[in-house]
Amino acid sequence: MAAKSKSEEAIELMRINGELTSKALAEVGKAVAPGVTTKELNRVAETFIRDHGAIPNFLGYEGYPAAICASVNDVVVHGFPSDYVLKEGDIVSIDLGTSYKGYNGDSAYTFPVGEVSAETRKLLDVTKASLYKGIEKAVAGNRTGDIGHAVQSYAESFGFSVVRELEGHGIGRDMHEDPGVPNYGRQGHGAKLEEGMTICIEPMICAGGRGVYLARNGWAVHTSDHRNAAHFELTVVVRHGKAEQLSTFDYIEKDSTIKF
């Protein structure tokens, strides 16, 4: 689908989706703990989304079988919720979205499970910070390469690597729209960003090498060296001067019961 700016009415509906997606992620965050299965996290998310009048837009998307992606440790993205029991020191990326009144929301956050190593904490902090570096470049007149370059240069400065096979995306009536938003690139290259475009920026950063492979289920993407990967995602509106966030991590990070 061709990239196009959204009306302010459409953006308002996407803001509602962004708010709901953000709150759903926080609800899942409250449940993340050693001894909890990722299937239980899926139940929490789906219940919360439906109880608030929306639909979990991941469920059934191109055959995807769950309301969330729950990607543990070396799974970069698209991990199926399962009977896997989270243990102390794990990390789990929760990616979820909503569909409400014809528009979509999409956001992701990587949670530590109990206490994690210093190296893992650094990976989480750098990946999240790289997301905000990318958001700073999501302004009218820039290009997607400016976002990717900001993410890549920041993450690589800490010795981490950037997955090349997966990227962020436009969002609106469809969950995935143009333009693609890579997490690497050259400044001044890529699709031009225009006022009112709505995009998801989602760094996927590896502790080790950037190589990945697809699991036999056709969905889960693992790091080739089986070292940890982290993933954070927010939905933003391209504006003149400064991007506007439609989703937020505030509900997670202002809740003292959530480990982040």
124 — phi, psi (to 5°)? Answer: -65, -45
Place of tokens 């289920």: 217
Q: Express each pLDDT in 84-123 by its tens digit.
A: 999 999 999 999 999 999 999 999 999 999 999 999 999 9
Quick: pLDDT tens for 148-190.
999 999 999 999 999 999 999 999 999 999 999 999 999 999 9
**CB-CB neighbours of 82 under 10 Å:** 13
Residue carrying structure tokens 């191109």: 62
Phi then psi for 237, rounded to 5 degrees? -105, 130
* Interval 11-17 mean pLDDT: 97
| pTM for this model (two decimals) | 0.97
CB atoms within 10 A of CB 211: 14
Task: Please provide the average confidence, as pLDDT, over all residues in the chain.
Answer: 96
Q: What is the separation, in whole angstroms, between the first and last Cα of the chain?
A: 36
Q: What is the pLDDT, as a whole number, of residue 1?
A: 47
Q: To the nearest whole percent, how much of the chain has pLDDT over 70?
A: 99
For β-strands 55-56 and 91-100, DSSP reports them as antiparallel
The helix (run of H) or strand (run of E) holding residue 159 is: none
CA distance 114 to 105: 28
Q: What is the CATH number of domain 8-253?
A: 3.90.230.10
The structural domains of the chain, with segments of one domain joined by +, span 8-253
